[in-house]
Amino acid sequence: MKTGLAVRSLFLLALSVVFLVILTMFESALVGISTQAERAITFLLLVVPASVGAVLGILSLARREGQAWLATLTIVSNTLFALFHSMLIIFAG
């Protein structure tokens, strides 16, 4: 079965949420590392997959894969997730 880009985008959002839960659970292990390393980990595990998911959602709409509502939902949710965590990295450190 071939999955569409919107479904892959939704999978990347779920993966970002799983990484968020894992980072939250093991936050005490990150106490000794530098702020820059913490920002890099957060960026790579939370912002990058959500950003790629938003791009896949846009591509799904551009290709008219037939599930416009799902593509729109994944674009909005991935974009909000990526923007929220980007703002956390920028302002909260």
The Cα–Cα gap between 24 and 81 comes to 16
The Cα–Cα gap between 7 and 25 comes to 27
The Cα–Cα gap between 69 and 91 comes to 33
* Residues counted in the chain: 93
69 pLDDT above the threshold of 50: yes
Q: Where are the alpha helices (DSSP H) in the chain?
A: 5-25, 35-42, 48-63, 68-87
Q: What is the DSSP letter of 31?
A: T
| Four-residue CA torsion sign, 33, 12, 58, 68 | negative
Q: Where are the domains of the chain?
A: 5-92
How confident is the model over 34-54, as a mean pLDDT? 92
- Rounded to two decimals, the pTM is 0.86
pLDDT at 2: 64
93 pLDDT above the threshold of 70: no
pLDDT at 45: 93
How confident is the model over 56-83, as a mean pLDDT? 91
Q: Are 9 and 53 in contact (CB under 8 A)?
A: yes
